[in-house]
Amino acid sequence: MTSTTRRLAVAAAGLMVLAQGAASAADPPALTTPVHVTKEDVNPVRTYSAPNLLAHPKDPMVVVGAFADLRTRRCGLVRTMDGGSTWKILDSSPSPASYPSCNSNPRGSFQGLLAFGRDNALYYALDGWDTQDGGINGNVSMVVSRSTDLGDTWQPVIARDARNKAGEAQESYRPITGFAVDARTGGQDKVYVGSGRRQPGFTGANALPVQPVVATSTDGGKTFGEPVNLAESVFTDGAVRQKAFQSATTAPNASTTTVPAPGTRAATPDQPANFGGFGPSVTVDAKGTVYAMWPATYANLLPRPSNAIFLSRSEDQGKTWTTSPVTGFEWNIGSFSTVTWSPEGGDQGTLHAVADGYEKVGVTGYQDIYYYRSTDGGRTWSERRNVTDDDPKDLFGQYYPNIAVAPNGRIEIAFWDSRDDPGYRANDVYMTTSNDNGATWSKNIRVTDKPIDRRIGVWSTNFDITSPPGLAPAKAYTMLAWDDTRNTDLSSPDATALGGGLQDIYTAAVQYEELGGGTSSAAKIALAGVVGLLVVGLALFGVSMLSRRKDTGPASSTGGRVPPAAKSKDSQPLRS
């Protein structure tokens, strides 16, 4: 057999494997080489947060990411049009000129959240303030911007204006923790923004806890109503407050010798004003029902009650809410949670939630990631499930999870993980996947190619911000993003100072199938036809070679369209 004949045989066999393999769901996904998203920025003091990623609903090659530069406190957008091979930092700012700052020094939240509406409109929710507002400890407003050109230009709206408020009227909406757009029902987009409302004018033994609020627009983000405090109606129920107090008596080191001043809220602990909640995560289902999940928090209560997670639900576009517990008041419950909805699992679809928590209460820095689900609109929930698979004896910590659902129903959870820390305070991004609506979960996959050195950068000693990893699933692949300190010059004396060093944005894609390929009948027929033609051509070519005794090379053949980032020669199978 001539060399050309052998090459044709290999080509035909390869296409047969492609035709058969396109339908195989058992093939391991491929993890691409990390891409340096912010390489065009050469500022020697740049420090980017991990971005909130979002894949375009109609073109999976397009992914956008909302970020903050943590030293300038300005928010912006990065965008890829080619599946993550190349990225651009857009010049246009989503912030109004008079409210230029967005970073609010929050607890483990993205600095900006993204959502697509109808007609490809892109929405961006973020904080807004300037020096005249007193900084992050003063009045912080709520901003929603809308773009019709994928972030090249923005039309910002002040969803809640806190400027010029003083004394007990001060309001600080930070951070923005939840964002959802209902693009299915009615004639215009309904926009829901969740945040933690702080009232810094109340201090000391009369302090107010953070309040979980949601502001709603029913006209495509042009105007917003008054933010609704989701915790207010819950804790007017004395029985709920008593459950919280009962948990306080079982706390480690529950005793206290503090005597509050008479007449203060601390002196009268059993009142609704001492109960609140961190900012809610928000999602909306296909019928327009909106859900907001939030962890409880408190003020003026010593000993402090344990954590609990609640879900609020509205069927009238955010006017009224009903709330039910996701968990009880328990010491193994964390204080960070995220919820999303998918149409799988029955008439009401499924609510998928993820939260941090504890297997061993009291062990400093030891957290795990837990999954919950509800198939009845949040009225009842499954028992929590630990989705981390490291050895519990090692006491490695996992933090700040993110959860998202792909268009084909695949559910993915990403989180920070310290299991590969070489001993100098580092973490990695890990993820796990479910293909059966949350019934089972894959082995954890390490996404980052090297541990992120947290001795440097703004995460240093956790003094500023810890955002979850970015997570944007499409049908064929999932894009993940994180902030990374690898480009810091460790020989610089400023690198190891508190907050010193660089933080850049990196992404990697987990590819499950060829984009545009798959298991369709048309694709199979087309591939079978190509294979048949090659077989016939091979036979004819062999006859020709016998007569001509010449050897010529065939044209090459390529497969389907894949995310370009996944074409790297360094791509490798996921670890399992």
Q: How far apart are CA 500 and CA 522, in angstroms?
A: 56
pLDDT at 571: 40
Q: How far apart are CA 571 and CA 452, in angstroms?
A: 20
The three-state DSSP-derived secondary structure of 434-454 is ECCCCCCCCCCEECCCCCEEC
Q: Is the pLDDT reported for residue 254 higher than 60?
A: no
- Rg of the chain on CA atoms, in Å: 26
CATH number, span 91-254+274-331: 2.120.10.10
Check residues 495 and 403 and name the one with the higher pLDDT: 403
Query: Would you state the structure tokens that stand for residue 206, as one six-digit string?
Result: 């009369």
- Largest Cα span, the chain: 108
DSSP string, 526-571: HHHHHHHHHHHHHHHHHHHHHHH----PPPP----B--GGGG-TT-
Lowest-confidence segment of 271-285, 332-346, 358-372 by average pLDDT: 358-372
pLDDT at 137: 82
pLDDT at 360: 87
- The position carrying tokens 């389907």 is 560
Q: How far apart are CA 93 and CA 74, in angstroms?
A: 8
CB burial of residue 399 (10 Å; 0-12, 13-18, 19+): buried
pLDDT at 257: 60
Q: Is the pLDDT reported for residue 38 higher than 80?
A: yes
The mean of the pLDDT values for the chain is 86
DSSP 417: E
Q: How far is CA 286 from CA 124, 344, 348, 354, 471, in A?
A: 21, 11, 9, 21, 22
What pTM does this model have? 0.86
Most confident of 381-385, 389-393, 457-461, 566-570: 381-385
Q: How far apart are CA 495 and CA 70, in angstroms?
A: 16
pLDDT at 459: 72
pLDDT at 524: 38
pLDDT at 13: 35
Q: What angle do CA 337, 35, 64 make, to 5 degrees?
A: 55
Give the residue among 142, 95, 111, 123 at the shortest CA–CA distance from 180: 123
pLDDT digits (tens, 9 = 90+) for 315-328: 999 999 999 999 99
The answer to whether 485 touches 46, Cβ cutoff 8 Å, is no
pLDDT digits (tens, 9 = 90+) for 415-441: 999 999 998 889 999 999 999 999 999
Q: Is the pLDDT reported for residue 533 higher than 60?
A: no
pLDDT digits (tens, 9 = 90+) for 78-131: 999 999 999 999 999 999 999 999 987 766 789 999 999 999 999 999 999 999
Q: How far is CA 152 from CA 36, 79, 122, 145, 147, in A?
A: 21, 10, 11, 12, 7
Assign 258 to helix, strand or coil: coil
User: Confidence band (pLDDT; 50, 70, 90) for 492?
Assistant: confident
Mean pLDDT across 502-508: 96
pLDDT at 145: 98
- Residues forming CATH 2.120.10.10 domain(s) in the chain: 91-254+274-331
User: Confidence band (pLDDT; 50, 70, 90) for 8?
Assistant: very low
pLDDT at 495: 79
pLDDT at 490: 87
Q: Is the pLDDT reported for residue 220 higher than 70?
A: yes
pLDDT at 516: 58
pLDDT at 562: 43
Check residues 249 and 247 and name the one with the higher pLDDT: 247
Q: Is the pLDDT reported for residue 527 higher than 90?
A: no
pLDDT digits (tens, 9 = 90+) for 50-70: 999 999 999 999 999 999 998
CB burial of residue 449 (10 Å; 0-12, 13-18, 19+): middle
Q: Is the pLDDT reported for residue 12 higher than 60?
A: no
pLDDT digits (tens, 9 = 90+) for 258-302: 788 999 999 999 999 999 999 999 999 999 999 999 999 999 999
Mean pLDDT across 558-567: 42
Lowest-confidence segment of 232-241, 303-312, 401-410, 514-523 by average pLDDT: 514-523
Q: Is the pLDDT reported for residue 462 higher than 60?
A: no
pLDDT at 353: 98
Q: Is the pLDDT reported for residue 544 higher than 70?
A: no
Q: How far apart are CA 180 and CA 290, in angstroms?
A: 8
pLDDT at 193: 98
Q: Is the pLDDT reported for residue 518 higher than 90?
A: no
Burial 503-535 (b: 16+ CB within 10 A, else e): bbbbbbbbbbbbbebeeeeebeeebeebbeebe
Lowest-confidence segment of 148-157, 172-181, 338-347, 488-497 by average pLDDT: 488-497
Lowest-confidence segment of 31-40, 500-509, 527-536, 566-575 by average pLDDT: 566-575
Percentage with pLDDT > 90 across the chain: 72
Q: How far apart are the first and last CA of the chain?
A: 41
DSSP string, 280-319: PEEEE-TTS-EEEEEEEEESS-SSPP-B-EEEEEESSTTS
Residue 125 half-sphere exposure toward CB, CA atoms < 13 A: 33
User: Confidence band (pLDDT; 50, 70, 90) for 6?
Assistant: very low
Q: How far apart are CA 482 and CA 399, in angstroms?
A: 13
- The position carrying tokens 């100072």 is 497
